[in-house]
Amino acid sequence: MGYGNWDDSAYDAARTFRAARGLDDFGYTADMRSVPWDKWKAHKSLDPKNVGMRESRDSADHGNSLPIAVLFDVTGSMGAVPRIMQEKLGKLHGLLQRKGYADDPQIMFGGIGDADTDRVPLQVGQFESDNRMDEQLRLILLEGGGGGQKSESYELAAYFMARHTATDAWDKRGQKGYLFIVGDELNKARLASRHIRHVIGDKVSADVAVESIYRELADRWHVHYILPNQSSYYGDPEIAEHWRGLLGERFLRLDDPAAVCELIALTIGIGEDRIDVGAGLADLRDIGSLDEADAVGKALAPLGAARRTRSVGALPAATGDDDIDFGN
């Protein structure tokens, strides 16, 4: 995947067309809500079962592909965040390319639910370079379920990304991709083998430790967890302790959920050594994202502090990421 180029005009025209006709931006979700819950299923283009690999590959149009995956918790109130992302997708792409944060970004979107209780606990799209990324985002089913146990199946998504993605960035250049999980709860205590078999289709007989799958994932991905101020768990110390234990400073608390696109873009720009935090925040103000700049600056403070610490030779804090360096 990853052919073609993003077109702002086509994106704007499609939004105008849907608005004029009263069509939901997330039309697949609207369709599913018209049928009984036990008939709900992932759109066939986002169903993770038996897909083999989701691939980010170089092409004639994009010779330096950079894979970026954004997987949203779509349970409860978190379903509002994908809508925010869809509304600002043009801004995200503009920051990545027109501001030079990434030469050839290829973006994948997906949804995360609860494998114990939801009809659709995992949805994973393709890596795209053109307006098909908007199409796949709008096909995510915003199920709105969740099990109420203060945990969702993030670890199942981590398993898919670790075992079922292939990228030329890594295979050709040894360059990690960027994974952003946007949620507000804990991982399950274990990655259950029955969930892997049922949802993904791999013939796995034993449960997997959550810490081990995140270590495996970190071999090829810069993994971030964004906690937006969208639910009562935003200030929960258990959530923060859990994710910091796995990801260190890549656990990012975001005061303003409306700034999720801007936070993702700047995190990538900093990670690719294209900007520093100050320059990135200036870019946001330059494009009119004044409120978002304040929230993003606060969210990125731990990353900036860790980056400055490592630049003077200090050892990084112990985390679940074996390679927490921001370089390639």
Q: Does the pLDDT value for residue 138 go beyond 70?
A: yes
Q: Give the type of residue at 75.
A: T
Q: Which pLDDT belongs to residue 309?
A: 67
Q: Using a cut of 0.85, tell me whether the model's pTM lies above it.
A: yes
Least confident stretch, 150-154, 220-224, 259-263, 301-305: 301-305
Query: Mean pLDDT across the stretch 283-290?
Result: 92
- Asked if residues 183 and 112 have their Cβ atoms less than 8 Å apart, the reply is yes
- Asked if residues 225 and 251 have their Cβ atoms less than 8 Å apart, the reply is yes
The helix/strand/coil state of 103 is: coil
Mean pLDDT computed over every residue of the chain: 91
- Residue 26 CA: distances (Å) to CA of 18, 31, 69, 107, 143: 10, 9, 19, 18, 11
Instruction: Measure CA 182 to chain center.
Output: 6
Query: Mean pLDDT across the stretch 239-256?
Result: 96
Q: Which domains does the chain have, with CATH numbers?
A: 8-311 (3.40.50.410)
- Asked if residues 124 and 162 have their Cβ atoms less than 8 Å apart, the reply is no
Residue 34 DSSP symbol: T
Question: Hey, what are 199's tokens?
Answer: 């949802």
pLDDT bucket at 147, cuts 50 / 70 / 90: low
Q: Give the type of residue at 309.
A: T
- Asked if residues 257 and 230 have their Cβ atoms less than 8 Å apart, the reply is yes
- Residue 233 CA: distances (Å) to CA of 227, 240, 317: 9, 9, 25
Least confident stretch, 228-237, 253-262, 268-277, 310-319: 310-319
Q: How big is the CA angle at 156 (ends 1 and 58), to the nearest 5 degrees? A: 15
Share of the chain above pLDDT 90, in %: 81
For 280, residues 6+ apart whose C-beta sits below 8 A from its C-beta are: 265, 266, 269, 270, 296, 300
What gap in Å lies between CA 99 and CA 76, rounded to an integer?
34
